[in-house]
Chains A and B, each alone.
Chain A
């Protein structure tokens, strides 16, 4: 359905996305994890045809077999909402503050599906019901500032679902929400994807959320897809040093708060920080922070190596052969 082949995005100052290969089939539930600046949001924006104007794109992106790599805005307007829809990180500011909820959700139905206001209203009532908003007729008349963050995110989900997209991209949909609200939104997304047979791309840095929601996972670092495979297997037995480090950085609630000397234990972290786009190493992006680095890692990009039948990781250590 959606296919990326050696898809790269670069700006004057550096490369935001490098040789991305990805296939999303009908009903897939895919998690994309990585730190800020790993390129996961750029990937999502490219799937929506909403990469910034300054970006240079190479490789190939196709939707339903149609080449969309350099498609114009008009063609993308046909795809958005109907084939692919997206919800964003910040529900507090993602809704037009001057519009009633009902008018906002009705708009794509009227514009794309040519429904009358009355028909669109009926559809919106059903949609709001479906995403778990109580008393939809009253909520439709409200303005965004009258709703809580969780309610607004539900409205945004209803808006994204309005024209029955084949793929829903959720870009950190729960980061701005309370933990218990976040959990309910995550479960809602999985339920909706399942009921509608809709593909879901779930972008997050929350590994627990990914484990709950997705079947497959792609780990990103510095614009590279460093590891991929079934979510449960990757999380249980990571192959790439970055994935190992990321999993190692999860706080362990069972560990004692103080060590043997009575000192407060520090939370485990990955050493170093993600360098800026322009300062990333040419070879493996993780070199410089990697614990098991080889001498040519910084200069030579690591190809995908099969870990087992349906898993791969981009690390020289897994190749076994020096170039």
Chain B
């Protein structure tokens, strides 16, 4: 058990190190001179050279890489070229937006997918089951950006129930939740369609097992058998998919934030790429990658929490 956690932790840290190297390498072989981008086409050679010196661009690549890592570990990602403020401030300002959206999307996905998936399994080969399978097929096929536009057209433009975009922060919780509803649905529909299918097939497999018959023979209601006995045993494949989906949700915010004009990291990375704002892009790509790797690490640890038999084996 202890060895298992130790091994996974070492793997987690190594993955992050490799990711950082790849991110740094990719950003530094990209064509374009940051100094030229900042000062513009008609800058003098002297000014360019001075700026390169100031930005540390004249130092060897390895030195720059380790300097970047060293500073990043202390929360210093450099100064944004386009916004002229520390990148860490930019991130701190926009992180709550993206985290709110990703967490809301995850909750939406879990609630919808588990309810529909377990419900479909309980009605195996009946109308309810077919209905869920049909809806999930559609859900998987619909692109998120297109669904976003349809949602805005219907609920914001035509019905005027919800705002079409923007986010003013959590100081007014009601307004914040109202602005999050449409982006959350747009973000979560595909993921919940996928997860509902996984939940259904995993639950069907568990329902064939002997202990489910024992639970029914103890006079427990179908609902109780499903949620208390079948679901926990169906969780391992579900958690695996949820881990990957959390990563997909975080990166999915890039599209959704741009469609809904939400001031989050997704919009920031989009703007920074357009502005060739190297330190910001580099920090954000690293951050997104770290979130994905962390999600997978958490899933690995969850397996042991779910299934006590794994403790004995690992």
Contact = CB atoms under 8 A, between A and B. Distances in A.
Interface string A71-89: 0010011111110011010
Interface stretch (B151-159, B171-179, B188-196, B208-216): B208-216
- For A76, A85, A99, A145, the residue with the greatest tally of chain B CB atoms inside 10 Å of its CB is A99
Contacts of B213: 50, 88, 94
Given A50-B217, A78-B219, A96-B233, A111 B308 contact: no
B307 interface: yes
Nearest to B309: A145
B232 interface: yes
A271 B64 CA distance: 86
B218 A94 contact: no
A169 B308 CA distance: 31
Contacts of B232: 96, 98
Contacts of B309: 97, 143, 145
B26 interface: no
B210 A93 contact: yes
A77 B217 CA distance: 8
19 contacts: A50-B213, A81-B219, A82-B219, A86-B217, A88-B217, A94-B211, A94-B214, A95-B214, A96-B215, A96-B229, A96-B232, A96-B233, A98-B308, A107-B228, A111-B219, A111-B224, A145-B312, A156-B214, A160-B217
Given A98-B306, A98-B307, A80 B210 contact: no
B224 A90 contact: no
A9 to B, nearest CB: 17
B211 A108 contact: no
Given A143-B309, A145-B312, A94 B210 contact: yes
B5 interface: no
Interface of B: 209-211, 213-222, 224, 228-229, 232-233, 306-309, 312
Interface residues of A, number: 32
A69 B307 CA distance: 40
A48 interface: yes
Closest 10 A-B residue pairs measured CB to CB?
A80-B219, A81-B219, A93-B210, A108-B218, A96-B211, A94-B210, A94-B214, A86-B217, A143-B308, A77-B219
B21 to A, nearest CB: 40
A159 interface: yes
Interface string A157-193: 0011011000000000000000000000000000000
A145 B228 CA distance: 19
Nearest to B308: A143
A265 interface: no
A108 B216 contact: no
Contact of B219 (A88, A95, A112): A112
Nearest to B212: A96
Contacts of A78: 219
Interface string A52-84: 000000000000000000000100111111100
A8 B128 CA distance: 31
Given A93-B209, A94-B210, A98-B307, A80 B218 contact: yes
Interface string A120-159: 0000000000000000000000010100000000001001
A78 B220 CA distance: 9
A97 B221 CA distance: 20
A307 to B, nearest CB: 35
Contacts of B216: 50, 80
Given A81-B217, A86-B217, A97-B309, 8 more contacts: A48-B217, A79-B219, A88-B213, A96-B229, A107-B218, A108-B220, A159-B218, A162-B218
B173 to A, nearest CB: 37
B306 A88 contact: no
A159 B215 CA distance: 10
A310 to B, nearest CB: 31
A143 B313 CA distance: 14
Contacts of A98: 232-233, 306-308
Nearest to B124: A53
A90 B210 contact: yes
- For B210, B218, B232, B307, the residue with the greatest tally of chain A CB atoms inside 10 Å of its CB is B218
B308 A88 contact: no
B214 A97 contact: no
Given A111-B224, A145-B309, A145-B312, A97 B218 contact: no
A144 to B, nearest CB: 8
B189 to A, nearest CB: 31
Contacts of B229: 96, 99
B128 to A, nearest CB: 14
A80 B214 contact: no
A92 B21 CA distance: 50
A50 B218 CA distance: 11
Interface in A99-127: 99, 107-108, 111-112
